[in-house]
Structure 1
Amino acid sequence: MGNWFSNNSGTIVTDVVTIVAIIVAALIIRKITLTFIHRAVDKAAMRAESKPGRFLEAGLLMGAERRLQRTRALGSVLSSVASAAIMIIAALMVIDQLHISTGPILASVGVISAAIGFGARDVVTDLLAGIFMIMEDQYGVGDYIDAGDAKGTVEDVGLRITQLRDIDGVVWYVRNGTIKRIGNQSQGYARAIVDVPVSYAENPGRVRDVMVETAHQMFEDPEWKDSFLTEAPTVAGIESIEGDHMMMRVTVRTAARRSAEVARELRGRLLMAFDEAGVKVGIPAAAGTGT
């Protein structure tokens, strides 16, 4: 044993030094790479915060906060991938330096990886879905979304789990891989639709004029101006005729997530305007009913 060690001491020392050098080099390269990625992400985040939101006719599509969240999430994914790749390459180099054949090891790792991948395929699906959701900016924190099984305000977007809080305050944890469709009510614009039943005996043109005037008054009201987009309200007129009443409709393009409050306010103003103009509103009671 002593003779073998003395005969191979030079090779052993060389191998140890080489292994140490590989480990140190891998750590240094990993540190430099992560630092470069973090600086790039920080610069991109600063540009995201300083750059104004992108606007089209439909309204605000993407704001600084959404771009910031998206940039940091993608930077975290890139850092993890780069770190894993560097350490795997370093481990293979160390194994090779120990004069161990990497072929059987790689084959075994491939079989184990396949087994783990098959068993954890749901986790992999969730992670991939989360990455694409973030890259495509399908939704972000603060958005109100309908994810199929649950809907509510997004509180957190992770690579595997999306956290929602519904209108009752219940927190839902939805796996990204199970989301087949997303309805986002916070992007672009919303539409407020108000239907008012009016007596069949009323003049549709007169009713329409009252609705147009009321809707435009609200549109020009400074307190509600920010809730509307540049497009003026549209009175569609008679939406349907049912028995003794006709349904009159007015539609308004609003800022995202403002449609409900705009519809409530507009409905109240229309009822007051109809009352002042003497327009009969409501569905008459069915014949033969009453107290």
Structure 2
Amino acid sequence: MEFLDVLYQYIVEHEFLGKIINVAVVIVFALILSKIMTYLIDRNLSLEEVKKKNSYMRIVTIMNLVRNIGKIVIFFLAITISLDILGVNTTPIIAAFSVGSLAISFGAQSLIKDIINGFFIILEDQYRVGDLVEILDYQGYVEEFGLRSTLLRDFNGEVHIIPNGKIEIVTNKQKGRARAKVVLSLDLEEDPRKIVDLIKTRISFLEKDYRVLEGPSVWGVTNNTDRGYEITISANVISGEQFKVEYEIREEMVEMFRENNIKLPEIRVRR
């Protein structure tokens, strides 16, 4: 206790040190508040009932924006409070910031246009994270979306950062949902009814998968060829998840073919 009394007396006598400690407390509090906000957003996005909603990807997009804006507000307030604690009059700074912002705005019209256009993209729900879109001759999946720009990854893995202000026409090729489709080729000797029953059993695990909005369903024999026939499997899934679901279905089908000695169509060489 004596040590604490001495420490307290020292802090009182050295006012600046006390201010530094108060500033540190404010910054730590801002960091904790930011972490709590991020945790609450991530926890809600990971809930199964939220993932099952058709508007899940839109919710993800909006929550990411809320997180970013929230962090800006929290740390702006923390800096302002810290300056007040240190005895810096923040009123002129805020006033200068407002005037400076007005002056900058005339030279940053493209930035303002990006933000305004980004707001209307969200409001009109033109596309969401995970959607397959075509923008300015670039085609790919929306990986990130902010008020200022859209991050698009094409099929070659290249990332395109497109300012929202330049986006005038958007072609959304799978808004909200997409179809996972797998076509299996089988030998004519295989019984199609037996195969369909086996497939239904093997893919039943997808019925409770949050990514699957409808299905999966087995269409039956969808095509006859000179070497056999084809059976198609499909499921409506959350946009952006269709390829992962297709991969999982194909893996299950490989195991099913091996376990049941199912024959593939023979390759016939024409002479």
TM-score normalised by the chain length of structure 2: 0.54
- Corresponding position: 1:260 with 2:243: yes
* Match 2:201 to one of 195, 213, 236: 213
Opposite residue 133 of structure 2, the aligned amino acid is D
* Change in CA separation of 1:147 and 1:178 when aligned onto 2, cut-off 3 Å: same
* Change in CA separation of 1:243 and 1:165 when aligned onto 2, cut-off 3 Å: same
Residue 249 of structure 1: aligned partner: 232
Shift of 1:260: 1.5
| 2: CA distance, partners of 1:128 / 1:180 | 16
Is contact 1:154–1:164 with CA below 8 Å preserved after alignment? Answer: yes
Opposite residue 169 of structure 2, the aligned amino acid is K
Residue 22 of structure 2: aligned partner: none
Shift of 1:229: 3.1
Q: Secondary structure at the match of 2:152?
A: strand
Opposite residue 118 of structure 2, the aligned amino acid is G
Residue 140 of structure 2: aligned partner: 151
Residue 9 of structure 2: aligned partner: none
* Change in CA separation of 1:211 and 1:226 when aligned onto 2, cut-off 3 Å: closer
Is contact 1:143–1:184 with CA below 8 Å preserved after alignment? Answer: no
Residue 56 of structure 2: aligned partner: 60
Is contact 1:70–1:137 with CA below 8 Å preserved after alignment? Answer: no
Higher relative contact order (CA 8 A, sep 6+): 2
Opposite residue 146 of structure 1, the aligned amino acid is V
| 1: CA distance, partners of 2:243 / 2:264 | 21
* Change in CA separation of 1:276 and 1:155 when aligned onto 2, cut-off 3 Å: closer
- Corresponding position: 1:202 with 2:190: yes
Opposite residue 66 of structure 1, the aligned amino acid is I
| 1: CA distance, partners of 2:141 / 2:60 | 22
Is contact 1:214–1:273 with CA below 8 Å preserved after alignment? Answer: yes
Opposite residue 173 of structure 1, the aligned amino acid is I
Is contact 2:183–2:231 with CA below 8 Å preserved after alignment? Answer: yes
Shift of 1:287: 2.4
| 2: CA distance, partners of 1:262 / 1:136 | 29
Residue 31 of structure 2: aligned partner: none
* Match 1:183 to one of 172, 175, 197: 172
Residue 257 of structure 2: aligned partner: 274
Is contact 1:196–1:282 with CA below 8 Å preserved after alignment? Answer: no
Q: Secondary structure at the match of 1:150?
A: strand
Q: Secondary structure at the match of 2:178?
A: strand
- Corresponding position: 1:284 with 2:267: yes
* Change in CA separation of 1:231 and 1:162 when aligned onto 2, cut-off 3 Å: closer
| 1: CA distance, partners of 2:156 / 2:43 | 36
Is contact 1:194–1:249 with CA below 8 Å preserved after alignment? Answer: yes
Q: Secondary structure at the match of 1:63?
A: helix
Shift of 1:170: 2.8
Shift of 1:282: 3.8
Query: RMSD in angstroms over aligned alpha carbons?
Result: 4.7
Is contact 2:132–2:140 with CA below 8 Å preserved after alignment? Answer: yes
Which is higher, the Rg of structure 1 or of structure 2? 1
Shift of 1:171: 2.9
What is the percentage of aligned positions where both structures have the same residue? 20
Is contact 1:164–1:172 with CA below 8 Å preserved after alignment? Answer: yes
Shift of 1:68: 5.4
| 2: CA distance, partners of 1:51 / 1:210 | 37
| 2: CA distance, partners of 1:145 / 1:198 | 31
Shift of 1:150: 3.4
Q: What is the 5 A alignment of 1:1-291?
A: 49=41, 58=54, 60=56, 62-63=58-59, 66-67=62-63, 69=65, 129-139=117-127, 142-148=129-135, 149-159=138-148, 161-166=149-154, 168-176=156-164, 177-183=166-172, 188-216=176-204, 218-219=205-206, 226=209, 228-229=211-212, 231-282=214-265, 284-288=267-271
* Change in CA separation of 1:129 and 1:248 when aligned onto 2, cut-off 3 Å: same
Q: Secondary structure at the match of 2:184?
A: strand
Shift of 1:125: 7.4
**Any gaps of 5 or more consecutive residues in structure 1?**
1-44, 77-82, 88-112, 114-119
CA deviation profile, 1:42-88 (whole Å, cap 9, x unmatched) = xxx99x95995667764635436624516977xx9xxxxxx9xx98x
Is contact 2:143–2:152 with CA below 8 Å preserved after alignment? Answer: yes
